[in-house]
Amino acid sequence: MMKAIVAESYGPPEVLELVEVDTPVLSDDEVLVRILATTVVLGDCEIRGFQFPQYGLGLRLLMRLGFGLRGPRKKILGQQLAGEIEKVGKEVTRFKEGDQVFGVTGLNLGTYAEYTSLGEDAVLTEKPANMRFEEASTIPLGGLEALYFLRKAKIQSGQRVLINGAGGSIGTIAVQLAKNQGAEVTAVDSA
């Protein structure tokens, strides 16, 4: 058994409850991660409250079918994590027990718990030794999006880049990645 924060229904933060649930059972190609840090991001809040104001009614109805009619289909929310590999399935070669890792579960959710199981090919990698678990857990979503957009823009050394929203999870990493690629960066954000 493990502790987890679950949402049985949609609503404000008060719908979240700390409960005991079964620890995930591993498949042969999965790892069991003991979660030592996680985050609460906008997407988690939107799913918990089923608040998607930017989408039209038709898309919201489809999302309701996907996420759950009366409450979240996946009761344990949370997308980002940092932790330690507790167990590995017998087909896993990429990780070993004791590896310190960080990553993102995406719409599989499940990081508001003591443990989660992820496929060996999940967006999961070793945590740098000089980074705390709390720091590592904040990187995956913003970092992946920043990397995606900078690659799409084909940023090259010497180019000038304006990063609007440089204080957010995507922007702070985009500034660092663009500078690392040799770009001249101007960062803008609101106070």
Q: Average the pLDDT over 137-163 and give the result.
A: 91
Q: Into how many domains does the chain fold?
A: 2
For residues 100 and 151, membership in a common domain is answered with no
User: Where among 95, 116, 136 does a domain terminate?
Assistant: 136
* Among candidate residues 91, 134, 120, 115, the one with its CA nearest the CA of residue 33: 115
Most confident listed range (15-19, 69-73, 122-126): 15-19
Scored b (16 or more CB within 10 A) or e, 34-53 reads bbbbbbebebbebbbebeee
For residue 99, the model assigns a pLDDT of 98
- Worst-scoring range by mean pLDDT, 139-148, 162-171, 172-181? 139-148
For residues 156 and 72, membership in a common domain is answered with no
User: What residues form DSSP beta bridges with 82?
Assistant: 37, 102
For residues 115 and 171, membership in a common domain is answered with no
Q: Per-residue pLDDT tens for 93-129? A: 999 999 999 999 988 999 999 999 999 989 899 999 9
| pLDDT, mean over the chain | 93
For residue 164, the model assigns a pLDDT of 94
Tokens 């809040």 identify what position? 45
Model confidence band, residue 4 (pLDDT cutoffs 50, 70, 90): very high
Rounded-to-integer distance, Cα 190 and Cα 174, Å: 16
For residues 34 and 128, membership in a common domain is answered with yes
For residues 111 and 176, membership in a common domain is answered with no
Identify the H or E element spanning 30: strand 30-38
For residues 21 and 50, membership in a common domain is answered with yes
64 has pLDDT over 90: no
For residues 86 and 149, membership in a common domain is answered with no
Query: Is 155 in contact with 183 (CB distance < 8 Å)?
Result: yes
Note the pTM of the prediction, 2 decimals.
Answer: 0.82
For residues 117 and 152, membership in a common domain is answered with no
Rounded-to-integer distance, Cα 104 and Cα 64, Å: 23
For residues 107 and 161, membership in a common domain is answered with no
Domain containing 172 — which CATH number? 3.40.50.720
Percent of the chain scoring above 70 in pLDDT: 100
> What is the number of other CB atoms lying within 10 angstroms of the CB of residue 12?
10
39 has pLDDT over 80: yes
Q: Is 154 left (phi over 0), alpha (psi -120 to 50) or beta?
A: left
For residues 22 and 72, membership in a common domain is answered with yes
Q: Average the pLDDT over 59-65 and give the result.
A: 83
CA of 128: how far to CAs of 93, 120, 146, in Å?
A: 20, 19, 19
For residue 62, the model assigns a pLDDT of 85
Tokens 């989660």 identify what position? 116
For residue 69, the model assigns a pLDDT of 87
Per-residue tokens: 53: 């104001």
For residues 37 and 104, membership in a common domain is answered with yes
For residues 96 and 159, membership in a common domain is answered with no
> What is the number of other CB atoms lying within 10 angstroms of the CB of residue 165?
14
Q: Which residue range(s) make up the domain with 108?
A: 2-136
Rounded-to-integer distance, Cα 58 and Cα 71, Å: 18
Domain containing 24 — which CATH number? 3.90.180.10
